[in-house]
Amino acid sequence: MNALAAAGWGALAAFSLVIGAWLALRYRPSPRVTGRVLGFGAGALIAAVAYELVPGERLESAWDFLAVGVGALTFFLLDGALAQKATAQRSAGSAHNANRSIVLGALLDGIPESLVLGMGLAAGGSISIPFLAAVFLSNLPESLGATAGMREEGRQPGVVYRIWWGITAISGACAALGYGLVGFVPGTEGRLVQAFAAGAVLTMLANSMMPEAFELGGRLAGLSTVLGFAAAGALSLLE
pTM: 0.79
Q: Pick the residue with more confidence: 227 or 103?
A: 227
Which pLDDT band, with edges at 50, 70 and 90, does 19 fall under? very high
Q: Report the pLDDT value the prediction gives residue 58, as an integer from 0 to 100.
A: 56
pLDDT digits (tens, 9 = 90+) for 126-177: 777 777 877 888 788 889 888 988 888 888 999 999 999 999 999 999 999 9
Q: Report the pLDDT value the prediction gives residue 12, as an integer from 0 to 100.
A: 93
Neighbouring CB atoms inside 10 A of 125's CB total: 8
Q: Report the pLDDT value the prediction gives residue 92, as an integer from 0 to 100.
A: 47
pLDDT digits (tens, 9 = 90+) for 70-99: 889 988 888 888 777 766 655 544 555 667
Which pLDDT band, with edges at 50, 70 and 90, does 3 fall under? confident
Which parts of the chain fold into alpha helices (H)? 3-14, 16-27, 31-48, 62-89, 94-124, 129-153, 157-184, 191-204, 210-217, 220-236
Q: Report the pLDDT value the prediction gives residue 225, as an integer from 0 to 100.
A: 95
Least confident range of 7-11, 40-44, 82-86, 94-98: 94-98
Q: How far is CA 71 from CA 15, 34, 99, in A?
A: 23, 27, 19
Instruction: Give dist(CA 130, CA 230) in Å, integer.
Output: 13
Angle between helices 16-27 and 129-153 (to 10 degrees): 40
Q: Of 187, 182, 195, whose CA–CA distance to 59 is shortest?
A: 195
Burial degree of 25 (CB within 10 A; 0-12, 13-18, 19+): middle
